[in-house]
Amino acid sequence: MKTLGIDIGSLNIKAVVLGDDGILGTTIVPPGDEIEAGAHKAIEAALVEAGLSHNSLPVAATGTGAKFIPFIPQQKAITTCLARGIHYLFPSARMVIDMGAESTTVLKVNERGRIADWVNHDKCASGTGLFLQQMAKLMGITLEEMSSLSLQAHARADITNTCAVFAESEVISHVHRDPPTPKEDIVAGIYASIVSRTISLCKRVGITKDVAVTGGVALNDGLVNIMEQELGFKVLKPKSPQMVAALGAAIIAKETAEKGPK
């Protein structure tokens, strides 16, 4: 059976086509002005990649924007989908750290790929994808440059403030210091402060191994590297960490289809 999962995020729409032997196609498109149109575009592209011509696959949607695409009636919470997606990729994962554009969510997953608990930071911008973008802009580099720079750091600049607004002013003062703090150390400092806050969130539900990272922010190798140092062990990282929720949605579409109409 082939199914389709779609994750409508605030920065990107992700779609996954899932077959019996694995993932057949994936796409990421920006949502554009019209979420519904964007969703159609993403689905079509994923189908093309999977070598399918028309869309009659069972489908499920997730993500903050899912409620704006009523043409997909089956909708599931992002946490449920992340749990399913990660279980498919890494059955040993018991905890997922999902670092997305607007919030960070930590969830616990049981041995059946069911979510057992979760906690998120949504009242705080620091540590999110948007925050990282802002920091990169402030330092005049790209997100990719940021990631590779951090791997060359000799030290971590002190970024102690927990509030995004103040963290920004700390970064500015590092940039303008005489002599300026080396860029790589500033980046390492920013990553370290994000990691520390994220681990604090993990501790609220209790850290359980194996730990997997997902979401767009997990694409930063430098950040994941620091996270592993701070946790004291390796984390599981999917090849496409931002696709996991869409994958989970495709799995749920499959489960529902297999159960048959109620």
Partner 1 sequence: MTTIVHKSEVDLLIRTFRMMSRMNRARPEMRSSETLYYQMLAEYYSRIRNAREEGKLLAAHTVFFPTEMLYAMDIVPMHTEMTTWLTALFLREQAELLAKGAELGLAPEICSPHRGVAGIFGLNTIPHPDVILWSNLICDNTAKSGELMMELSRSPGFFLDNPFQNSPGEMRYLVDELKDMVHFLEEKSGKKMDWDKLAEMVVRDKQEIELYREISELRKAVPSPMSISGYLELLSADYMFPGQPEAIQYLTQLRDELKMMVKQGKGAVSSERFRLMTLFVPPMHLMSSLGRIFEEHGAVSVTEPLFTCWSEGELDPSRPLESVAMKSFLIPERRSMYGPLSEQALQDIIDSAQQYKIDGAIYWAFLGCRHTCATVKVIKEVLSEIDVPMLTIDCDIVDPTVNSEEEIRDKLTQFTEMLEEDR
Partner 2 sequence: MGYLDMGYLDIIGLKVPTPDHFRAVNHAFPKTKEILELKRQGKMIFGWLCTYVPEEVVHAAGILPVRITGYSQEMELEDGNAYLYINNCSFSRSCLQMGLRGEYDYLDGIVAGSTCDGARRLFDLWVHYIKAPFHHILSVPRKYTERAHGLYYEQVTMFKQHLEQYLNIKITDEALLQSIEVYNESRALLKELYELRKLDKPPITGTDTMEVLNASFRMPKELFNHHLRQLLAELAISGRAYPSRARLMVTGSVMNNPQFIQSIEELGGLVVTDELCTSTRYWSDPVVLDGRSPLEAISRRYLSNFPCARMVPSDERFDRILQLAREYRVDGVISQIIRYCVPYAHDLPVITEKLKRANIPTLALDVEYGTSGSGQIRTRVQAFLEMLETRKR
> Which part of the chain contacts partner 2 (CB under 8 A), choosing from 42-50, 99-107, 182-190, 194-202?
194-202
Is residue 196 involved in binding partner 2 (CB under 8 A)?
yes
Pairing, β 3-8 against β 13-19: antiparallel
Residues in contact with partner 2, counted by CB under 8 A, come to a total of 14
∠ CA(168), CA(174), CA(179), 5° rounding?
160
116 touches 99 (CB < 8 A): no
Closest to 38 (Cα-Cα) out of 66, 80, 3, 78? 66
186 contacts 175 by C-beta, under 8 angstroms: yes
Does position 104 bind partner 1 by CB under 8 A?
A: no
Half-sphere exposure of residue 9: CA atoms within 13 angstroms, side-chain side? 26
- Should residue 200 be labelled a site residue for partner 2 when binding is judged by CB under 8 A? yes
User: Among residues 92, 114, 169, 173, which is the contact residue for partner 1, using CB under 8 A?
Assistant: 114
Rule CB under 8 A: choose which of 11, 45, 164, 199 binds partner 2.
199
Using N-to-C axis directions, what is the helix angle for 244-259 and 78-89, rounded to 10°?
90
**Cβ proximity to partner 2, 177 vs 209, nearer residue:** 177
Kindly state the DSSP code that residue 112 receives in the 8-state scheme. T
Instruction: Determine the interface stretch with partner 1 among 43-51, 70-78, 138-146, 161-169 (rule: CB under 8 A).
Output: 70-78
Strands 95-99, 211-214: pairing kind: parallel
Map the footprint of partner 1 across residues 202-241, applying CB under 8 A. 204-205
Q: Toward partner 1, which CB reaches closer, 30 or 206?
A: 206
Could you identify the residue written with the tokens 């004291």?
232
| From 122, 144, 230, 258, residue interacting with partner 1 (rule: CB under 8 A) | 122
Pick between residue 54 and residue 176 the one whose CB is nearest to partner 2. 176
Q: How far is CA 227 from the centre of its chain?
A: 15
Angle at 117 between CA 111 and CA 118, to 5 degrees: 125
The answer to the question of residue 229 lying near partner 2 (CB under 8 A) is no
* Residues numbered 149-178 forming contacts with partner 2, rule: CB under 8 A: 160, 162, 166, 169-170, 173
The residues binding partner 1 (CB under 8 A) are 64, 76-80, 114-119, 122-123, 204-205
**Binding region for partner 2 (CB under 8 A):** 160, 162, 166, 169-170, 173, 193, 196-197, 199-201, 203-204
